[in-house]
Copies of this chain bind each other. A is one copy, B any other.
Amino acid sequence: MRVIESISEMQQQADSWRRQELTIGLVPTMGYLHQGHLALVQKAIDLADRVVVSIFVNPTQFGPNEDFERYPQDIPRDLRLLDELGVAAVFKPDAASIYPQGYQTYVEVQQLTQPLCGHTRPTHFRGVTTVVNKLFNITKPHLAIFGEKDFQQLVTIQRMVSDLNMDVEILGHPIVRESDGLAMSSRNVYLNAEQRQTALRLSQALEQARRLVSGGERQPQAILEKVKNHLLEGGGITIDYVELCHLDTLQPVTSLERPGLLAMAAFVGPARLLDNCILTPPGAGLHDRTQ
């Protein structure tokens, strides 16, 4: 496995693979890898001839009071795990080469980035789309894989790629969970034992919503109230948002006639945690999504 820090070396490696007509799969990460990341990497390995994993804690996607400075890291462990999986190259640039002095270009997806996480993190998605755009230009992938835990990120990147005619296929991968249901996240390490227990209420609340919808409930207000009540019961959680929205536009649904996204963000101790699921009303298939 090559570990590449230089942008031009990475581009040359990608060019060389492309000349050999090898397909390239990219999994962009901020490191501190968990089983969720590794599932994305495995999917890339199944689909592409050469897999690149980028590890870059991207400063432009963090707000001023967020956890950029303390974002967890374990590069030796990350490299070992990726090597074992059969990754061809890890691209691990430093911030000064990604954002050199005088840097001033940003890629912005305007509407999809407004709701949900956009309220609390107004500059977050601009940082994400900008760095992912750069990573695509550097690693020249045929396909790239993103986790569905960051559902808004996934649809935002799909929109960027489609709008800018980038010739890359964007694939999602279902949320990978701990055995007790907690969605995997590098930020789970911020939780102490009690908070870790409290955090289970996110996935439990989603489960509750699923049961409600299976039972015939289609009113977003009723669903959201149950979910919020479950989250708040017993304390220790501050809700950032809980929303039921269209899968494509992320705008709130007024009645759940087609599959919709139930998305939440909540603070548990020092961690801001995300979780989501797709709620499908009985009789509505996922193919209804684009109707």
Contacts and interface: CB of A to CB of B under 8 A. Distances in A.
A110 interface: yes
Interface centre among A104, A159, A166 (most CB of B within 10 A): A104
A191 interface: no
Nearest to A130: B164
Interface string A157-170: 00110011111000
A19 interface: yes
Interface in A77-117: 103-112
Given A19-B21, A21-B19, A167 B104 contact: no
B7 A165 contact: yes
Contacts of A106: 107-108, 110
Interface residues of A, number: 30
Oligomer copy total: 2
A173 interface: no
Interface string A169-180: 000000000000
A272 interface: no
Contacts of A133: 164
A134 interface: yes
Nearest to A109: B105
A164 B105 contact: yes
Nearest to A133: B164
Given A19-B21, A134-B165, A137-B167, A105 B7 contact: no
A167 B11 contact: yes
A278 B159 CA distance: 41
B104 A164 contact: no
Interface string A1-15: 000000100010001
A139 B166 CA distance: 11
Interface of A: 7, 11, 15, 18-19, 21, 103-112, 129-130, 133-134, 137-138, 140, 159-160, 163-167
